Amino acid sequence: MWLGGVAALLVMRLPMSFLLLLVVPWIILLAQTRYRSGLRAGPLAALEVCCMVTAVIAVVFHPSLLTSIGNSAVIMLAVVGFTLAVFRSADPSKTARQSLSGLYWGALLVWFIGLGEILTGIKLLPLLYPEANTVSAVSKSRWIVTATYPNYNDYGVVMTMLFTALLAKMWFDPRRGAVKLGRLFALVTCFGMILMGGSRGALLGCMCAVALLVILNVRRLHAAAMGVRAFFWGTTLVVAAGGGLWMSPYVQDHSTAERGRIMTNAVSMLMSDPIALLFGYGSLSEYQNEANARFGDVLMDPHNLLLELVLRYGIVAMILFVACWLWIAVKGFLPRRPAVDWQAAFALTVVMLLPVLGIVPSSTLRYHVTWLYLVVASCLTAQMIASRRSELGTMVAHQERVDVTPDQSG
């Protein structure tokens, strides 16, 4: 319950929310009995250990980070605490789902704030972030909202996650009457906010979420449907369509050119500094200082989740993140008959969307919820693996009993 509350506050970007993420999990670990659940999420553990080690090493090379609570070592301390609080609880699956409910309700409250901005015409952006470069666009349009976020791209990512949750609820936990109408209203208005904000990445994320949830739902109902061949051709079609869209004028504009320049400059910085390539810069602010010293006062926010992982934690951490993502995809998302409810479908789909959503905001990891989704999805995947092993063991034991039972017919 407490972890769910912290997750909701993080999504809403309320003051002190990160401090609560840093403190609350460790208080829970100290105050309650710690259990050995037997769940194993090796790829997640390897990723977090690597990030913690490289973050500490980065602090050694950049001592100025010691004065900042936003350095990567402190962030990983919070993430490790959250992970242990989930996996060492009496019921990790239940704790993971409570955290996921917090992420859902936090996103729903952000949507409600955005809806209030549309209805009243009062925008929070000029009050919360008066220096943001999106203030003018948001202030001029009644329909472009950001709630508690600094720009509509970041807000669009939250709405994409909420869109995914609402669709998962409608398909995996169907209801009737007012509840169904309420979900449909939230889904349509959420998608409308993304359209009005003009975030192409968030819009693509919504379309991918629909496709991924269709796959999960069909495979849940019909285990023989959408096998390896269908997945291969479907992936080929998506890649071809994505390549065509990428080359279109709709995508290839000034914003895309800026992102390409940032990527080129950041990679050149990393290649010229082996220590930074291996261990990262320790924080995004330290990277920004290095970039400003080298390229002047130009936009250098990563705008790419994988690049940001390298900048914060080094290239090994990025490789381990990809390995963890693939593990969740293969063991959690792709099994023949995935044992998923709406919460598992929500978590798995959001994690599958991270490569798409990770290129939308200027920085994905600064909101910390990416780590929470990864931990929750890893826990649910580990639970699915354990359940399948238990079922297989039961079947084998039953077959052995059948084989040794003497024939009584004669």
pLDDT digits (tens, 9 = 90+) for 309-333: 999 999 999 999 999 999 999 898 8
Q: With a cut of 60, say whether residue 248 has pLDDT above it.
A: no
C-alpha separations of 22 from 78, 110, 200 in Å: 4, 22, 33
**Is the pLDDT score of 338 beyond 70?**
no
Count of the separate structural domains present in the chain:
1
Residue spans of alpha helices (H) in 121-253: 125-128, 135-140, 152-172, 178-197, 200-221, 228-247
264: number of Cβ within 10 Å: 10
Which amino acid does the sequence have at 113?
Answer: I
pLDDT at 403: 62
pLDDT at site 410: 45
Mean pLDDT of 223-244: 62
Q: Is the pLDDT of residue 41 over 80?
A: yes
DSSP 129: -
Q: Is residue 380 one of the residues assigned to a domain? A: yes
Residue 288 lies in a domain: yes
Sign of CA dihedral 304, 316, 96, 4: negative
Indicate the residue type of 245: L
Residue 382, C-beta contacts closer than 8 angstroms, at least 6 positions apart: 39, 40, 41, 92
Q: Which pLDDT belongs to residue 387?
A: 82
**What CA–CA distance (Å, rounded) separates 81 from 113?**
30
Q: Is residue 118 part of a domain?
A: yes
- pLDDT range class, residue 239, cuts 50, 70, 90: low
**pLDDT classification of 224: cutoffs 50, 70, 90:** low
Does residue 345 form part of some domain? yes
Look at residue 153 in the predicted model and tell me its pLDDT: 92
Kindly report the average pLDDT of the chain as a whole number: 87
What is the distance in angstroms between the CA of the first residue and the CA of the last residue of the chain? Answer: 61
Asked if 106 contacts 7 with a C-beta cutoff of 8 angstroms, the reply is: yes
- Residues 256-279 have a mean pLDDT of 88
Instruction: Classify residue 399: in a domain, yes or no.
Output: no
**CA dist., res. 216 & res. 213, Å (int):** 5
- Across the range 357-373, mean pLDDT stands at 92
Is position 252 within any domain?
yes
Both structure tokens of 371:
């780590």
pLDDT 10s digits, 145-185: 999 999 999 999 999 999 999 999 999 999 999 999 999 99
For 227: left if phi > 0, alpha if psi spans -120 to 50, otherwise beta; the answer is beta
**pLDDT above 70 for 253:** no
Say how far apart CA 234 and CA 245 lie, in whole Å.
Answer: 16
Q: How far is CA 255 from CA 137, 205, 239, in A?
A: 16, 18, 22
Q: Which domain holds residue 89?
A: 2-32+39-387
Res. 254: pLDDT tops 60: no
Does 101 map to a domain? yes
Q: How confident is the model at residue 392 (pLDDT cuts 50, 70, 90)?
A: low
Question: pLDDT higher for 295 or 405?
Answer: 295
Q: Given this model, what pLDDT does residue 378 score?
A: 96
* Global pTM exceeds 0.85: yes
Task: Flag whether pLDDT at 17 surpasses 60.
Answer: yes
Q: Which residues of 351-381 are buried (b: 16+ CB within 10 A; e: fewer)?
A: bbbbebbbbbbbbbbbbbbbbbbbbbbbbbb
The angle formed by the CA atoms of residues 148, 300 and 190, to the nearest 5 degrees, is: 30
Nearest by Cα to 111 from 9, 13, 3, 193: 193
pLDDT at 3: 94
Burial of residue 334 (number of CB atoms within 10 Å: 0-12, 13-18, 19+): middle
- Give residue-wise pLDDT tens across range 82-99: 999 999 998 999 999 999
Q: Would residue 395 count as lying in a domain?
A: no
Backbone angles phi, psi at 145, to 5 degrees: -130, 160
Residue 61 is predicted with a pLDDT of 83
